[in-house]
Amino acid sequence: MKGSIQRRLISITGLVLVVFLTATGWVLDRTYSASIHQGAEEQLKLVIYALMGVAEEEGESLVFNQSLADPRLAQAQSGLYAIVIDDLKRTLWSSSSLQSIGTSDVFDFAPPQDLAPGIFSFAKIAVPKPRFQLSYAVIWEGIEPSKVTFTAIVDQAPYLEAIDDFRQNLWLGLGGATVFFVLAQLLALRWGLRPLLAMQLEVRQLEQGTRRELSRAYPIELSRLAENLQRYVTHEQSQRSRYRQSLDNLAHSLKTPLTVLRNAALESVVDKNLLANQIDLMQDTVNRQLARVVVTAPTIPNTQVDVSLVVRKIARTLEVAFPNIDLLFEAHTQAQLLIDEGDLLEVLGNVMENACKYGKYSVRIIVDQAANTSLLGRGIEISVEDDGQGIPQAMREEVLDRGSRLDTQQSGQGIGLAVAKELVTLYQGALTIADSNMGGAKISLFFPLKG
């Protein structure tokens, strides 16, 4: 799936943020509107309670001789109105503010029919103007008919204006918060994705040849990826170097046989044995160089290999090839390595075959856990010892030198150990040579544990 990770994260977080803040704004808007309506209802209740408090009986009717609690009831077009009617729909009293707006509007303020006593009825009036209306019916003993309905009305305009102001400020605030959070998220993503951008730049520099390795200052989440990429880079660099050196060695090694063959072709009598020897020499040279070229390791191994099973598999083969050698195997741990099984077979096969070839009577293989101070880590150590003559101290570096001429090394000794060392190094391990307690050489292979 193509596309920018940063663009995807910004898109999804922006969408979630817009949906969340929109839902939050809608809830807040509905809650505030409901509170405004409830406040209007409570205000009208106070007006009705005040009217009931100043109402007095006069004959079979009610009069309101005291001053009203809210002076707006006496002001024309004040926006607050009140009316009191009996059960026969006769107006017992109406506020001055209501009388000033005309009889047509008074008719619109009629309370709901069949309103039960003791029950408040709150309603919204749409025409002729938006208003809130609250009616309350009581049984007033001493007058006929005894059911009296108090109705208070207030214009919605001030409340709607308050709701509109709140709604405008709310959406402006939420819009500003959305922009702020999106920008903050963008900055946070750019800071969080900076290691990926740095890795991208370093990989581009590797491709252009201006850089040889990746830096190691990566967060934990990217450290394993950087390690695998670095292993791949090291693998490619070593492969190119191996090709170049093998071709140089091959060209140098073939110069002498070709010269001999050219001179022999000019002779009147051809020495067939000489030709055969030179051809065999050339074939051996080509085979050795090809063996060096194909040495490689997977850039990202992903399988756990049981070391004991690999050792036993090689031992069964060597017991047939070297029937006079007694192979002793000791496994002090259940060793599992993250390595390609073919590479482990190549390494152990070369080392164990050399031990059998140069040992006299016995070869011992030990697998155990160990710590390597130079590699600063714990891992698995595989030791292969023989009871032969061993490898002299002066020749140990030479037999492990990758650039050494193979035809100058002891027969069979250098190529196997050189190949083994290359493979172990590709897995960030180490190969060391020491003296064995059995009298011969001790080859130790250390593989760090990856977790």
pLDDT digits (tens, 9 = 90+) for 139-149: 888 777 888 88
**8 A C-beta contact, residue 174 and residue 24:** yes
Instruction: Map tokens 């990856």 to a residue.
Output: 450
Query: How many angstroms separate the CA atoms of 34 and 26, rounded?
Result: 12
Mean residue pLDDT of the chain comes to 79
* Domains recognised in the chain with CATH numbers: 5-161 (3.30.450), 220-293 (no CATH), 304-448 (3.30.565.10)
In this prediction, residue 89 carries a pLDDT of 80
Q: Which amino acid is at 189?
A: L
Per-residue pLDDT tens digits for 316-346: 888 877 888 899 998 888 888 888 887 888 7
For 181, the 3-state DSSP assignment is helix
Which has the closest alpha carbon to 355: 407, 395, 413?
413
Structural tokens at position 76: 């024309």
Tell me the one-letter amino acid at 408.
T
Please state, in angstroms and rounded to a whole number, the distance separating the CA atoms of residues 395 and 438. Answer: 20
In three-state secondary structure terms, 354 is helix
At 322 the pLDDT is 84
Which two structure tokens, joined as six digits, stand for 56?
């007095």
Confidence of residue 404 (pLDDT cuts 50, 70, 90): very low
Pairing mode, strands 56-58 and 304-306: unpaired
Which among 444, 423, 446 has a CA at the least distance from the CA of 301? 423
Name the token pair of 416.
Answer: 């196997």
Please give the Cα distance from 190 to 421 (Å, whole number).
43
* pTM of structure: 0.48
Secondary structure (3-state) at 136: strand
Tokens of 338: 């993250």
Q: What pLDDT score was predicted for residue 376?
A: 53
> What b/e string do you get for 49-88 counting C-beta neighbours within 10 Å, with b at 16 or more?
ebbeeebeeeeebbebeeebebebbeeeebebbbbbbbee
Q: What is the mean pLDDT of residues 98-106?
A: 59
Considering only residues 82 and 105, tell me which one the structure prediction assigns the higher pLDDT: 82
Average pLDDT score over residue span 68-86? 80
Q: Which tokens belong to 286?
A: 């080509």
Of 364, 430, 358, 350, give the one whose Cα is nearest residue 390.
358
Radius of gyration of the chain (CA): 49
Instruction: Give the residue from 354, 349, 378, 390 showing the smallest Cα distance to 446.
Output: 378
Number of other CB atoms surrounding residue 183 within 10 Å: 10
Q: What is the pLDDT of residues 20-76, one digit of tens each?
A: 888 999 999 999 999 988 998 898 999 888 888 888 877 767 777 666 667 888 777
Cβ(116)–Cβ(137) below 8 Å: yes
DSSP 8-state assignment for residue 360: S
Closest CA to 240 of 201, 268, 212: 212
The alpha carbon of 149 is separated from its chain's Cα centroid by a whole number of angstroms, namely 68
Lookup result for tokens 């006769």: 90
Mean of pLDDT values over 217-231: 77
Mean pLDDT to the nearest integer, 258-265 = 73
**Distance of alpha carbon 357 from alpha carbon 314, whole angstroms:** 14
Choose between 152 and 105: higher pLDDT.
152
74 CA to centre of own chain: 70
* CA atoms of 76 and 94, how far apart (whole Å): 12
- Give me the amino acid identity at 446: F
- Measured CA to CA, the distance from residue 439 to residue 449 in angstroms comes to 30
